[in-house]
Amino acid sequence: AAFTMDDFTRVVVTDKQIGARLDELAVKIRADYAGKDLLLVGVLKGAVMVMADLARRLPPYVQMDWMAVSSYGSGTRSSGVVRILKDLDADLTGRHVLIVEDIIDTGVTLSWLLGNLRSRGAESVEVAALLRKPDAIQVDIDVKYIGFDIPNEFVVGYGLDWAEKYRTLPFVAILKPSVYAEG
């Protein structure tokens, strides 16, 4: 792969750990939604990796849809303002919806999204997030499936970006402050 580890302080979650945790979460999700018609809603762009890897562990009649919202722009801090950049194609009326997210940082994005999707007549709306920063939470959210609690550091990889870069890394790592302090 064309990247150097010099950009990172350390790896927080390896690709092996991600795969093993997704195996466990998929077992729970399969049991909880047995006999139900499940719609996964991935939050672009950060959730693309976890959506692809989680969805592959679920039955083939599970459906995927996508929403694009953004609260970060190109910075490293949440702006607190959530914008819809792309709405869902699916009608949520009567559906069992599982929002798939890469990370809960302040919780602002998910809190807003939960309210938005719950107002669309879904039968249920739950959340699966790969990462959560307990020390950064500003809004309490009821999260049914969580991968890993991580320290309150700026992390990239496995969907998470800094200025659209590093999303393609197979692991999650802490970005060196010197990288985003430049320029």
Residues forming the site for ligand PRP (CB under 6 A): 43-46, 70-72, 78, 101-110, 161
Strand order in the sheet with 172-175: 8-13, 172-175, 155-156
154 alpha-carbon distance from chain centroid: 15
35 alpha-carbon distance from chain centroid: 25
Determine how β-strand 96-104 pairs with β-strand 38-44.
parallel
Considering the complex, what minimum distance in angstroms separates the CB of residue 174 from ligand PRP? 16
Considering the complex, what minimum distance in angstroms separates the CB of residue 66 from ligand PRP? 11
Of 105, 135, 140, 161, which is the active-site residue? 105
21 or 45, CB closer to ligand PRP? 45
Q: Per CB under 5 A, does 105 bind Mg ion?
A: no
29 or 157, CB closer to Mg ion? 157
Position among 46, 107, 147, 157 found at the interface with Mn ion (CB under 5 A): 46
Residue 42 sits at φ, ψ, to 5 deg, of -90, 140
What's the CA gap between 85 and 83, in Å, rounded? 6
Q: Per CB under 5 A, does 159 bind Mn ion?
A: no
36 or 83, CB closer to ligand PRP? 83
x-marked contacts with Mg ion along 49-88 as a string, rule CB under 5 A = -----------------------x----------------
Q: Are 67 and 88 in contact (CB under 8 A)?
A: yes
**Which residue has its beta carbon closest to ligand PRP?**
46
Q: Per CB under 5 A, does 161 bind Mg ion?
A: yes
Element (H, E) at 118: helix 108-118
Residues 24-53 that bind Mg ion (CB under 5 A): none
Q: Are 147 and 22 in contact (CB under 8 A)?
A: yes
Tell me the number of residues near Mg ion by CB under 5 A: 2
Q: Which residues pair with 114 in a beta bridge?
A: none
Amino acid at 143: V
**Active-site residue 91, yes or no?**
no
- Token match 């959506």: residue? 51
The residues assigned a catalytic role are 105
The contact set with Mg ion (CB under 5 A) reads: 72, 161
